[in-house]
């Protein structure tokens, strides 16, 4: 039986992003990969959307022989999206060893004084709730094999101001 290591990485929708860099690195280290993307988010950002098929193809080119990549699109703001995503990963590979929560709703949020409870709820649904639910689903499916890991990314807002962007760090879990 194949005992491959499987990594689920969120926020892999463009070749210029951190998710792509993480996926490339794990591909080169022999992981099977599940890539989660939400290209419509990037389409609304100044950097624009990338061709998701080209993103997946570029990762596929970096895989070790015999390894696979699967990609799933979806909006992690939907309450059941984290469970669906982990379920799709398990269907594809049987287990998940590593979760990299790299996704974020960021950019183009507008000034703080223009925020409403609805806009903040939308922001936190992706940046906090979905991250915690992904961790819950990952933990529930993990079978105790060695090497299980959860990696949570945050923003670079500590490096300087990001006008028009709500902070992504505070709503994210600190551990």
151: left (phi over 0), alpha (psi -120 to 50) or beta: beta
CB-based contacts of 155: which residues, under 8 Å, 6+ apart?
104, 106, 162, 167, 168, 169
| Cβ atoms 155, 104 nearer than 8 A | yes
| Percentage above 90 pLDDT, the chain | 65
**Taking Cα atoms as reference points, which of 71, 85, 175 lies closest to residue 126?**
85
- Walk me through the domains of the chain, giving residue ranges and CATH numbers: 6-159 (3.40.50.720)
State the pLDDT at residue 168.
64
For residue 49, the SS3 value is coil
Q: How confident is the model at residue 149 (pLDDT cuts 50, 70, 90)?
A: very high
Q: How confident is the model at residue 69 (pLDDT cuts 50, 70, 90)?
A: very high
pLDDT in tens, 88-122: 999 999 999 999 999 988 877 788 889 899 988 98
**Taking Cα atoms as reference points, which of 90, 102, 101 lies closest to residue 142?**
90
Distance of CA 161 to the CA centre of its chain: 23
State the pLDDT at residue 21.
97
């Amino acid at each position: 039986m194949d005992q491959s290591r499987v990594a689920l990485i969120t926020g892999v929708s463009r070749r210029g992003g951190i998710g792509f860099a993480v996926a490339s690195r794990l591909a080169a280290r022999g992981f099977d990969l599940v890539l989660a993307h939400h290209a419509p988010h990037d389409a609304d950002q100044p950097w624009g959307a990338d061709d998701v098929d080209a993103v997946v193809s570029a990762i596929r080119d970096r895989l070790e022989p015999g390894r696979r990549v699967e990609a799933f699109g979806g909006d992690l703001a939907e309450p059941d999206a984290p469970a669906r995503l982990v379920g799709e990963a398990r269907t594809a590979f049987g287990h998940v060893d590593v979760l990299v929560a790299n996704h974020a709703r960021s950019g183009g949020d507008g000034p703080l004084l223009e925020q409403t409870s609805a806009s903040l709820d939308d922001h936190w649904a992706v940046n906090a709730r979905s991250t915690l639910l992904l961790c819950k689903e990952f933990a529930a499916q993990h079978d105790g094999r060695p090497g299980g890991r959860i990696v949570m990314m945050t923003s670079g807002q500590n490096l300087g101001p990001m006008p028009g962007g709500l902070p992504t760090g505070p709503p994210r879990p600190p551990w």
